[in-house]
Structure 1
Amino acid sequence: FFSLTMKTALVIALVSVFVLAVAGKAHFSENFNDDAWTDRWVESTSKGSDAGNWVHTAAKFAIDENDKGIKTGTDYRFYQLSSMFDEFSNKDEDLVFQFSIANEQRLDCGGGYIKLLPAGIDQQNFNGDSPYNIMFGPDICGSTKRVHVILSYKGENHLINHNIPCETDTFTHVYTLIIHPDQTYEVLIDNVEKRSGSLTEDWDFLAPKQIKDPNQSKPEDWVDQATIPDPSAVKPEGWDDIPQFIADPDAEQPSDWDSELDGDWEAPLMPNPDYEGEWSAPMIPNPAYKGQWEHPLIDNPDYEYDSEIYSFNTAGVGIEIWQVKSGSLFDNILVTNDPAEARAAAESVIALRDHEKKAQAAEDEAARLEREEEMARLEAELEEEEEEEDAHLHDEL
Structure 2
Amino acid sequence: SLLNFNCTFTCVFLMLFLQNKAFKCWSEYTFFALSVSGLQTSQDARFYASSARFESFSNEGKPLVIQFTVKHEQKIDCGGGYVKVFPADLDQAEMHGDSSYYIMFGPDICGYSTKKVHVIFNYKGKNHLIKKEIKCKDDELTHLYTLILNPDQTYIVKIDNEKVESGSLEDDWDFLPPKKIKDPEAKKPEDWDDHAKIDDTDDTKPEDWDKPENIPDPDAKKPDDWDEDMDGEWEPPMIPNPEYKGEWKPKQIDNPNYKGAWVHPEIDNPEYSPDSNIYKFDNIGVLGLDLWQVKSGTIFDNFLITDDLKEAEDIGNETWGVTKEPERKMKQEQDDIKRKEDEEKNKEQEMEADEDEDTDDDEEGDEDLDEEDETKEDKKDAFSEIEKDEL
> 1:164 aligns to what?
134
Indicate conservation of the 8 Å contact 1:244/1:275, yes or no.
yes
> 2:81 aligns to what?
112
2:333 to 355, 362, 371: 362
* Distance change in 2, residues 1:258/1:223 (3 Å): closer
Alignment-mate amino acid for residue 127 of structure 2: N
> 2:12 aligns to what?
36
> 1:377 aligns to what?
348
* Distance change in 2, residues 1:395/1:153 (3 Å): closer
Give matches, 1:131-142, under 5 Å. 131-142=100-111
Distance 2:255 2:76 in 1: 58
Distance 2:8 2:322 in 1: 19
Tell me how far 1:199 sits from its aligned partner.
Answer: 1.4
Tell me how far 1:325 sits from its aligned partner.
Answer: 1.6
> 1:154 aligns to what?
124
2:293 to 310, 323, 342: 323
Distance 2:277 2:163 in 1: 24
- 2:189 counterpart of 1:219: yes
Distance 1:395 1:153 in 2: 85
- 2:310 counterpart of 1:340: yes
> 1:56 aligns to what?
25
Indicate conservation of the 8 Å contact 2:13/2:52, yes or no.
no
* Distance change in 2, residues 1:385/1:267 (3 Å): same
- 2:272 counterpart of 1:303: yes
* Distance change in 2, residues 1:164/1:389 (3 Å): closer
Tell me how far 1:392 sits from its aligned partner.
Answer: 3.7
Identical columns (%): 46
Indicate conservation of the 8 Å contact 2:66/2:304, yes or no.
yes
Indicate conservation of the 8 Å contact 1:184/1:196, yes or no.
yes
Give matches, 1:247-262, under 5 Å. 259-261=224-226
Give matches, 1:80-95, under 5 Å. 80-95=49-64
Tell me how far 1:141 sits from its aligned partner.
Answer: 1.7
Indicate conservation of the 8 Å contact 2:32/2:330, yes or no.
no
Give matches, 1:259-278, under 5 Å. 259-261=224-226, 269-278=238-247
Distance 1:277 1:63 in 2: 76
Indicate conservation of the 8 Å contact 2:215/2:241, yes or no.
yes
Tell me how far 1:341 sits from its aligned partner.
Answer: 1.0
Partner SS state of residue 375, structure 1: helix
Indicate conservation of the 8 Å contact 1:96/1:176, yes or no.
yes
* Distance change in 2, residues 1:38/1:231 (3 Å): same
Alignment-mate amino acid for residue 260 of structure 1: D
- The runs of 5 or more residues in structure 2 that have no matched partner are 370-391
CA RMSD of aligned residues (A): 2.4
* Distance change in 2, residues 1:128/1:262 (3 Å): farther
> 2:156 aligns to what?
186
* Distance change in 2, residues 1:195/1:262 (3 Å): farther
Alignment-mate amino acid for residue 40 of structure 1: L
Distance 2:19 2:183 in 1: 53
List per-residue Cα deviations over 1:263-303 (Å, max 9, x = no partner): 89977544323212222222222222211111222222332
Tell me how far 1:223 sits from its aligned partner.
Answer: 1.8
- The runs of 5 or more residues in structure 1 that have no matched partner are 1-24, 45-51
Distance 1:307 1:215 in 2: 31
Count of residue pairs the alignment pairs up: 360
Alignment-mate amino acid for residue 94 of structure 2: N
List per-residue Cα deviations over 1:190-215 (Å, max 9, x = no partner): 00000111112222222222222222
Distance 1:39 1:189 in 2: 27
Greater shift, 140-149 or 366-375, is seen at 366-375
List per-residue Cα deviations over 1:343-397 (Å, max 9, x = no partner): 1111131331222222222222222222222222223323333333444444442
Distance 1:393 1:215 in 2: 95
Distance 2:32 2:47 in 1: 26
> 2:214 aligns to what?
245
Distance 1:162 1:91 in 2: 25
